[in-house]
Amino acid sequence: MDPSQGMDMIGDLIIAEGCIASIGHNRDAMSSEPYQVLNAEGMVVCPGFIDIHCHLRQPGFEEKETIATGTRAAARGGFATVCCMPNTNPPIDTGDTVEYIMSVAANEGVVRVLPIGCVSKGRAGSELADLGELSTSGVIAFSDDGNPVSDSSLMRQALEFSRVSGLPVINHCEDLNLSSGGVMNEGAVANRLGFKGMPVAAEERMLARDIELARATEGRLHIAHVSTAGSAALIRHAKEEGIPITAEVTPHHLTLTEERVMSHSGYDTNSKVNPPLRTYRDVQALIAGLREGVIDAIATDHAPHTIEDKMYEFTGAPFGISGFETALGSLMGLVHRGELDLMTLIAKLTREPASFLRRADLGTFEAGTVADVTIFDPNVEWVVDPDNFVSKGRNTPLAGSVLKGKVMAVIAGGEIVYSNSAIRFN
């Protein structure tokens, strides 16, 4: 299945010299050649998934994740390309740090890593980082993710630069005055648990501001982890007006609600994430937004933390979900329940993020492009066991859940970087 070409067929995918060579019924023609054969009968074979939003934690937080462990977890989740956020230590706000990440990724990573640079120096939110230097060193976008760009003038300057450079500004929309002290969605569940809530207005107010700034500057605005029905409505309206805006949504915001925060023992800090899990109505609006093209892509926001970090009372625990390894299984739930068709799901993980990156060579099976391939079994059921994660981050609210749909192999740059023991080579 290749949404970039509207392709849905049964056949053989031939890879030669690291590139897609051909697709068809030509395996017999290959029998005399020394080819390695992966038997993907009954499985889906599609372009390698692209994640435009994840946290690899290196440099600075290697106890949570490294580029080595994070890219292996990404591969296990079906991703052949990941874009890493700059909330590291030091943050990715100079060309040197970009080069460091690229060199570690080249030596220790197993999938393609594309770094995102900071909007502000030190992610401190007051002074613009050297966006020119960052773009020359190869970042694919700018973001202070984890923090919003609260200063409207700074956001405006970043979007002005975006218009010139063509690189998007990804904002984590959160009005900190409105969300201050909040640890989960504002509403009935927070009231019941006695926790301070984060209102939907905290996200929507900054999003509305950013839409006005994108209108004025014509810079490329991208909204990270959209979580509310109101945000989807604002983005829909902005797109209808021709404003240059794109948006992403996470697997957890598409499949879980605030109810997940409650557990039999009280609460689960593994459900604490920013933006917070919202309501059923929000989830339905996000799925509809995805289906209708209001939300362009699915991104994991893989945010690994150590067990010790999360073993806290709810208010003190850090926000974040380790998302690579459960992404496909969670998302296939939408397909199995008839809420999203398989071709659209794959497009949101391949064609759409490639288009966001303006990379015609990624997210496609077009002949001659680099061989990034994801193979998954849509029907296999498995139980999530964080102890088996490749990621150092075991922080998932899905421990013990049964998911239907599992990644079986990933080829990145022509190399098999992950294969499940159940897949046959013959």
- Which residues in this chain contact ligand DOR in the complex, by CB under 6 A? 55, 87, 145-146, 172, 273-274, 303, 318-320
**How far apart (Å, rounded) are the C-alpha atoms in residues 264 and 399?**
13
Exposure string (b/e) for 69-104, b if CB count within 10 Å is 16 or more? bbbbbbbbbbbbbbbbbbbbeebbbbbebbebbbeb
Three-state SS for 286? helix
Those residues whose C-beta lies under 8 Å from the C-beta of residue 29, and which sit 6 or more positions away, are none
Those residues whose C-beta lies under 8 Å from the C-beta of residue 139, and which sit 6 or more positions away, are 92, 98, 114, 115, 116, 117, 167
Whose Cβ is closer to ligand DOR: residue 53's or residue 112's?
53
- The helix (run of H) or strand (run of E) holding residue 151 is none
Compute the least distance from the CB of residue 343 to ligand DOR, in Å.
Answer: 30
Whose Cβ is closer to ligand DOR: residue 3's or residue 275's?
275
- The helix (run of H) or strand (run of E) holding residue 283 is helix 280-291
Whose Cβ is closer to ligand DOR: residue 172's or residue 236's?
172
76 close to 67: Cβ distance less than 8 angstroms: no
Whose Cβ is closer to ligand DOR: residue 144's or residue 296's?
144
Compute the least distance from the CB of residue 150 to ligand DOR, in Å.
Answer: 14
**How far apart (Å, rounded) are the C-alpha atoms in residues 8 and 46?**
9
Compute the least distance from the CB of residue 301 to ligand DOR, in Å.
Answer: 6
Number of H helices, E strands in the chain: 14, 20
Quick one: DSSP state of residue 377?
A: E
Measured at the CA of 238, the angle between CA 232 and CA 242, to 5 degrees, comes to: 140
Q: Which of 301, 309, 372, 377 is catalytic?
A: 301
Active site residue 210: no
Whose Cβ is closer to ligand DOR: residue 53's or residue 156's?
53
Compute the least distance from the CB of residue 287 to ligand DOR, in Å.
Answer: 21
**How far apart (Å, rounded) are the C-alpha atoms in residues 135 and 114?**
12
Compute the least distance from the CB of residue 286 to ligand DOR, in Å.
Answer: 16
Q: Tokens 């207005």 belong to which residue?
A: 201
Residues assigned a catalytic role: 301
